[in-house]
Chain A
Amino acid sequence: MTPLAGCLLVSSMLFAVGLAGALTRRNTILVLVGIELMLNAANLNFVAFWRFGHHAGVSTGVIFGLFSIAVAAAEAAVGLALILAVYRHTKTTDLSLLTGRAQ
């Protein structure tokens, strides 16, 4: 049970929690939170493989981590802006009510 395996297990568990949350919760903001968790889980893999992977030393893992953080930040900003726009239009953030409506 090397540290690398430990990291991979933690990130897969994080990914599973994020996925479960994104699929089950009805509030759009929590779905977005689930997606953020999944993104972070992927990020954790990058760093784990950079640290313990075979060709460790080449710092591509950390660079990819940085870019993925930037992308996730942009995605969160746009996602939340969309949630706000939808809320202003329909006065609710409950997904189950939103899916069936004719826009």
Chain B
Amino acid sequence: MRQMSAAFLILAIVTMIAACAAMTLRGLVHCALALAVAFAGIGTLYLSLGAQFLGLAQLLVYVGAIAVLIVFVILLTRGGDGDASPLIPTGLPITGIVVATTILALLAWAVFHSFAMHSLGPPATPATVRELGTVLMAEYVLPLEVIGLMLTAALIGAVVVAMKEKQDTQ
């Protein structure tokens, strides 16, 4: 525990609490706000790990756009006022939690027995925006174009799916 900085610990705890809250709170909008806090926590985790551009991009994209989008959809589907489904839904709550805990145990075991526990390479120098830019434009120019294409397709697809069909509304 000694090598990890205090900031990292605090951020990790805050993110975990926010993530658990996002999953367990009754009110839907409360879940969405807790989710936004979790995203902000993860963004600041990236900042503490030195990936400045990624952390700020995460803050901009997730907290600025996706959290607001989720909140909009909650309100559009009238989830805002009434309380969400009861906390312990009938049917399959236990199996879900059991599966999740087994996977967590598996992952934790893997982490504790992996190389990560002891040998530690020199931490990478934080990537400057200019360096990211050149790498993005040099090696990853194809994925960049494909991502652009995919985002446009997703945008148009989302609008078409969510648009109110003029003719066949009952």
A-side interface residues toward B, CB under 8 Å?
Answer: 1-10, 12-27, 29-30, 32-34, 36-37, 40, 43-44, 47-48, 50-57, 59, 61-63, 65-67, 69-78, 80-85, 87-88, 93-94, 96
Contact = CB atoms under 8 A, between A and B. Distances in A.
B148 to A, nearest CB: 9
A74 B124 CA distance: 30
Given A6-B8, A16-B104, A40 B42 contact: yes
A29 B77 contact: yes
A19 B12 CA distance: 18
B45 A78 contact: no
B103 A13 contact: no
B15 A3 contact: no
Given A57-B125, A63-B140, 13 more contacts: A3-B8, A14-B38, A17-B100, A19-B100, A24-B89, A30-B28, A37-B19, A47-B51, A51-B124, A56-B124, A76-B66, A84-B161, A87-B76
Closest 10 CB pairs of A and B: A23-B96, A21-B23, A74-B154, A12-B107, A56-B124, A20-B100, A16-B104, A81-B158, A24-B96, A81-B162
A91 B109 CA distance: 44
B49 A51 contact: yes
Q: Tell me the dominant secondary structure on chain B's binding face.
A: helix
Contacts of B66: 36, 72-73, 76
Contacts of B93: 24
A5 B116 contact: yes
Interface of B: 1, 3-5, 8-9, 12, 15-16, 19-20, 22-24, 28, 31-32, 35, 38-39, 42, 45-46, 49-51, 53-54, 57-58, 61-62, 65-66, 69-70, 73-74, 76-77, 79, 84-85, 89, 91-93, 95-97, 99-101, 103-104, 107-108, 111-112, 114-118, 120-125, 127, 131-132, 135-136, 140, 143, 147, 150-151, 154-155, 157-159, 161-162, 164
B85 A94 contact: yes
Given A1-B4, A63-B140, A80 B104 contact: no
Contacts of A55: 121
14 contacts: A5-B114, A16-B103, A20-B96, A21-B23, A23-B96, A23-B100, A26-B89, A32-B70, A33-B23, A47-B45, A47-B54, A73-B65, A84-B162, A96-B91
